[in-house]
Homo-oligomer: A and B are copies of this chain.
Amino acid sequence: MCEDESIEVAANRVLQERTGLDDIFLKQFNVFSEPERAKRNPIVQDLIDSGANPDLKWFDQRFISVGFYALVDFSKVEPTPDSISDLCAWKNLDEVDSLILDHLQILNKALETLRLQLNYQPLGYNLLAEKFTMPELQRLYETILAKELDRRNFQRKILSYSILNKLEERKTGGAHKAPYLYEFNLENYQKALQNGLYGGW
């Protein structure tokens, strides 16, 4: 974060630098400030225990991170490293095993937050093509939740939010029955983002 920008603006900037995308859903979820968090990493612990590398001072530094997660259509983006990154690439969640510092905890907290927010926030805009099919939207939810959902119940639930416009067109060219195309009803989508989808108390 630079001196003249808010943390949100900074997060947007970094996202822009690495993906080229702008106006992306970006959500602050937690601050990580544990003094020893750099050293809590098992890899770092192994290094310290082994006494191998004497140059561990870096891990004595104090880091304070504000976690953000963004929702990005990865097929549209070629990730590019910025000035402080050597490598910037897409990974499947199940490929991610070791990360520096406590970044694995951060990732898990982000996932947890995202899954919670799914209960009262609509999702999918700018993650899908402008016109998309119901199965495509469902795959998106299933990917994030890492579990399968019932086709018919998913459709009913999503449609009940009235954030979608059903189009006359169908998506042809697929191997089976042509599914209808939908687009987001932006007005209602925005409203749902602000007011939430779940009634609660």
Contact = CB atoms under 8 A, between A and B. Distances in A.
Given A28-B30, A33-B7, A198 B198 contact: yes
Copies in the complex: 2
Contacts of A196: 116
Contacts of A99: none
A31 interface: yes
A28 B141 CA distance: 27
A111 B115 CA distance: 22
B201 A3 contact: no
A82 interface: no
Given A28-B31, A30-B28, A201-B145, A3 B119 contact: no
Find the residue from A8, A145, A200 having the highest chain B CB count within 10 A: A200
B200 A118 contact: yes
A187 interface: no
Interface residues of A, number: 28
A16 B70 CA distance: 36
A5 B34 CA distance: 7
A64 B118 CA distance: 28
A34 B30 CA distance: 17
Interface string A13-40: 0000000000000001011011100000
A186 interface: no
A115 B195 CA distance: 12
Given A145-B201, A201-B118, A7 B31 contact: yes
A160 interface: no
Contact of A198 (B1, B7, B28, B119): B119
Interface of A: 1, 3-8, 28, 30-31, 33-35, 62, 64, 66, 115-116, 118-120, 141, 145, 149, 196, 198, 200-201
